[in-house]
Structure 1
């Protein structure tokens, strides 16, 4: 992998991973080792977290197409070794999360509203405001 080319993105946006039952089988031990190493790296490389979690789903029925995607993540990581998060030892590292959910609160369209925010120390790192359809079932 030292002489490989660098990938611009961790996963090709046009390819969709699926079970691929007809594909060529690959050594599952090496794949699990790579996935474990990549999961460790997601603590400092948050940009690969989604792609690694997608690949993690296929550890039971592994095919060559899944292994190729993991190799692409490694190629991407090779080009972004100087990018990451740095956590100083003496910094405020408290993660606070706040969640407000109202299930089918709107009486007109029975929409579910969800609001969440997460703070790392004093800094907002995630804010989600979402309204989705909600099916209400009454059981007698």
Structure 2
């Protein structure tokens, strides 16, 4: 028997595998705090929950329409992808400035929209670098994200009702992806069964001297997140069995993780090497190679063409509630 409560201020979600026990907990809470039972979960902190034949779809349609309306883009022309392919934004000092407060407000709202939209994670991460001094070129790119959102109003993350509780992870790095700091970008997507649970796109804090180094730093960040998830699942009596596969499309990084001998070229990432190898030797992590064309983390690490972008959307469990069946 299992019952858990997710609490944020005065909003509470109750989950469990025994309806009678859930009702008992609700009754106890009501006696102590006088709660209001709103029935089956439909809306929580701006996140809409829809039940389908496949499972639950989490989306933010109302919040998305509010962003479009407040930005004056409610009637804009839709776009099939959030960012132009292979676009690399820089400080663009030759472009006219824009309203800083307006730009910051828009990017801040898009950051929260990422809760159910991993497909805009790369674009928002890129645009967030220019909050201090945005210009028209940056605002135009942000408007393109809104035009993409206009084309996918009911899109969200699918949490399948079938599947096991095993973890599998995909990580990737965009070596020297930042055009003006030359820092690489880290990205990972972690699946619990077939459900995409956490994902992240973030610029690394140091400059990597090779693509293998950038990928290896990404692997270390991903392993930290995997360990935290494993501990969380263990607390909920659902710990995964066996090593967690970690898919990386860089053979050099994978071989460093499996090689017990340090070389001259790896001294500057020695702590990461020890950290990952320790987890490999304890059979918690298993680094595996995956071909770049099957690397789903690409969707959060670079600006893709529309065809490749739509292909990867289906792979990470993004569904459009209004798409024809």
Task: Name the TM-score, length of structure 2 as normaliser.
Answer: 0.32
**Rounded Cα–Cα distance in structure 2 between residues aligned with 1:42 and 1:117:** 13
Report Cα offsets for 1:86-132 as digits up to 9, x if no partner: 569xxxxx99687xxxxxxxxxxxxxxxxx98332x33759422333
- 1:132 paired residue number: 252
- 2:107 paired residue number: 35
Task: Name the TM-score, length of structure 1 as normaliser.
Answer: 0.68
- 1:123 paired residue number: 194
- Structure 1: runs of 5 or more not aligned: 89-93, 99-115
Please tell me whether Structure 1 or Structure 2 has the larger radius of gyration of its CA atoms.
2
Structure 1 residues 87 and 119, CA, compared in 2 at 3 Å: closer, same or farther? closer
- 1:106 paired residue number: none
Question: How many positions carry a matched residue from both structures?
Answer: 119
RMSD: 3.4
Structure 1 runs of 4+ with >4 Å offset? 94-98, 124-127
Structure 1 residues 44 and 131, CA, compared in 2 at 3 Å: closer, same or farther? same
The partner residue of 2:123 within 51, 60, 63 is: 51
The partner residue of 2:97 within 22, 25, 37 is: 25
Larger RCO (CA within 8 A; separation ≥ 6) = 1
| Greater helix proportion | 2
Structure 1 residues 40 and 124, CA, compared in 2 at 3 Å: closer, same or farther? closer
- Structure 2: runs of 5 or more not aligned: 1-72, 170-187, 197-244, 257-264, 269-325
Report Cα offsets for 1:40-81 as digits up to 9, x if no partner: 111111111111101111111211100000000001001101
SS in 2 for 1:132: helix
